[in-house]
Amino acid sequence: MRDIKAGYSSSLIERSKQIRDSLNVDVLNKAGIARSRLQFELFNQYPPIYLLRPIKNPEEIFSSDNDPRPSGMSRPLALYVHIPFCLKKCTFCCFFSIDKWADGYINRYLRYLEKEICLLSKKEHFKKSRINSVHFGGGTPTLLNKRQLFRLTNVIRRNFCVAADAEFTFETTPESLNREKLEYFRESGFNRLSIGIQTFDNHLLRSHKRLYTAKQAVRAFKLSRRSGFSKINIDLLFGLTGQDLASWDESLKIAADLGPANVTAYPFMGCFTRNDIRKAFNNFQDEGNQRLLMHIMAIEKFTGLGYIQVTPYQFIRTPEYSFKQQEHKSKSGQIHAFGVTGHSFLNNVEYHNHHTLKGYEDMLLNNIIPIERGRHLSRKEQMIRFAIYNLQKRAGVNRKDGGIDKAVFAERFGVPLESEFSAKLRRLLGLGLIKDTGRYIRLSYLGILYHTEVCQLFYLKKDREEITRLF
């Protein structure tokens, strides 16, 4: 990455500042919608993970009584597989990961994964489902060797009905990629990968304990493309400690020059522990709305190059490169996540697996599905979840089908969207945070920048009060 002198600016920065300064931020603040400190992924889902309660009998989730489908009807299901192993824990990582383990422990963990897969494959719900996407996340799934990967993917294919055109995605980091690994991931059926580059600024890479340089990140991307992968996502982070506008501008430029099929540019959020979040609340600053400005820069950069913004933070080059699992989830599609801390939604229950390895293993040793906490959603809560997911996970300044489809909502719940959320919709329309196209209720440009705050307005009153009490 080239040296950047003090006082650096660019046409992108100046254009983005003009957009930021034109926003009615003061009007929002006066209306009680300030830039939220709840910039954590766990608050972009409903219900938030901290509002889930212990599940006494996981089997109830998979009982036929809870299955909303007509008898004999198959429905698409997405699978997520958590591989928690990393060479080194990054300073900004929010997810459960292990950077030190004893010899043979990966094989041991995979045996527990297989047991969870086999237990669930016997449930009628899974027998009736067709798998449309499988996502290996982490952690760093590319730490698996060829034998381990083939064994795990074969277990999935043997136990579930996997669609012939299913999307298979794996997450990776530049330092863990080489030609051999790319080849055996392709051989095992993977057709999409996501590279966690985060920044092309070598100073930031070192300070946040990343194990590669900007040049190595570029080489990893180019090697992936030469190895036959066309669906490649690059992850970038803004709001990192020590990151300025010049650094962000340069990372956006390098990413754009590579021309990936997907780019995800999302804010640094910190970690998920309650103490971390409280600390972040107390220290939250966004001097001059700089994080807001960085978000605008990403939107302007990639939409200006013809990319389609499909979520507040994600861009695709053309519709053929859409992220199937993301689109499935955006429509309140059902997903089960295997592995420690896996977070799922099935049969109108939001639930997650045990948050410790010991708890996860102990439950499986006793032939118990390793679900720790969850929440059965009422009809109203299902509506809220549907509205939130369609608003924020189908949002883009140039996305034509983004937002809540009124007809789909009415068909699913038997009532018009406006009758359930009339007061909230009127308020958001008045503040310019959403717009009504006739068919869709969707986030405006301003609403995309404030999507977390918008979606929290849909929470039940008891949930808002509980979040306030906890944090």
What CATH number corresponds to the domain at position 299? 3.20.20.70
Is there a single domain that holds both residue 218 and residue 282? Answer: yes
Task: Kindly state whether residue 347 falls inside one of the protein's structural domains.
Answer: no
Task: Kindly state whether residue 125 falls inside one of the protein's structural domains.
Answer: yes
Global pTM reads: 0.93
Is there a single domain that holds both residue 413 and residue 301? Answer: no
Could you tell me what percent of the chain has a pLDDT over 90? 76
Is there a single domain that holds both residue 157 and residue 187? Answer: yes
Task: Kindly state whether residue 384 falls inside one of the protein's structural domains.
Answer: yes
pLDDT for 58 equals 94
Task: Kindly state whether residue 120 falls inside one of the protein's structural domains.
Answer: yes
pLDDT in tens, 232-266: 999 999 999 899 999 999 999 999 999 999 999 99
pLDDT for 67 equals 62
Task: Kindly state whether residue 5 falls inside one of the protein's structural domains.
Answer: no
Last residue of a domain, one of 268, 303, 331: 331
pLDDT for 99 equals 75
Is there a single domain that holds both residue 231 and residue 87? Answer: yes
Of the pLDDT bands very low, low, confident and very high (cuts 50, 70, 90), residue 5 is low
Task: Kindly state whether residue 17 falls inside one of the protein's structural domains.
Answer: no
Give the range of the structural domain holding residue 464, as residue numbers without chain letter. 22-45+379-470
pLDDT in tens, 67-123: 666 666 678 999 999 999 987 776 666 777 777 777 799 999 999 999 999 999 999
Is there a single domain that holds both residue 226 and residue 104? Answer: yes
Is there a single domain that holds both residue 86 and residue 189? Answer: yes
Q: Which residue has the higher pLDDT, 280 or 128?
A: 128
pLDDT in tens, 300-347: 999 999 999 999 999 999 999 999 999 999 999 999 999 999 999 999
Which CATH number belongs to the domain containing residue 41 in this structure? 1.10.10
pLDDT for 415 equals 98
Q: Which residue has the higher pLDDT, 103 or 275?
A: 103
pLDDT for 409 equals 98
Task: Kindly state whether residue 439 falls inside one of the protein's structural domains.
Answer: yes
Of the pLDDT bands very low, low, confident and very high (cuts 50, 70, 90), residue 51 is very high
pLDDT in tens, 299-310: 999 999 999 999
Task: Kindly state whether residue 2 falls inside one of the protein's structural domains.
Answer: no
Chain-wide mean pLDDT for the chain?
90
pLDDT for 388 equals 96
Is there a single domain that holds both residue 439 and residue 386? Answer: yes
Is there a single domain that holds both residue 388 and residue 445? Answer: yes
Phi, psi dihedrals of residue 63, rounded to the nearest 5°: -70, 150
pLDDT in tens, 405-420: 999 999 999 999 999 9
Instruction: Count the domains in the chain.
Output: 2
142 HSE (CA, 13 A, CB side): 26
Is there a single domain that holds both residue 146 and residue 289? Answer: yes
Is there a single domain that holds both residue 387 and residue 427? Answer: yes
Last residue of a domain, one of 315, 331, 347: 331
Is there a single domain that holds both residue 41 and residue 73? Answer: no
Of the pLDDT bands very low, low, confident and very high (cuts 50, 70, 90), residue 1 is very low
Last residue of a domain, one of 331, 352, 367: 331
pLDDT for 158 equals 97
- Check pLDDT > 50 for residue 458: yes
pLDDT for 216 equals 98
Mean pLDDT of 30-47: 70
Of the pLDDT bands very low, low, confident and very high (cuts 50, 70, 90), residue 284 is very low
Is there a single domain that holds both residue 134 and residue 164? Answer: yes
Could you tell me what percent of the chain has a pLDDT over 70? 89
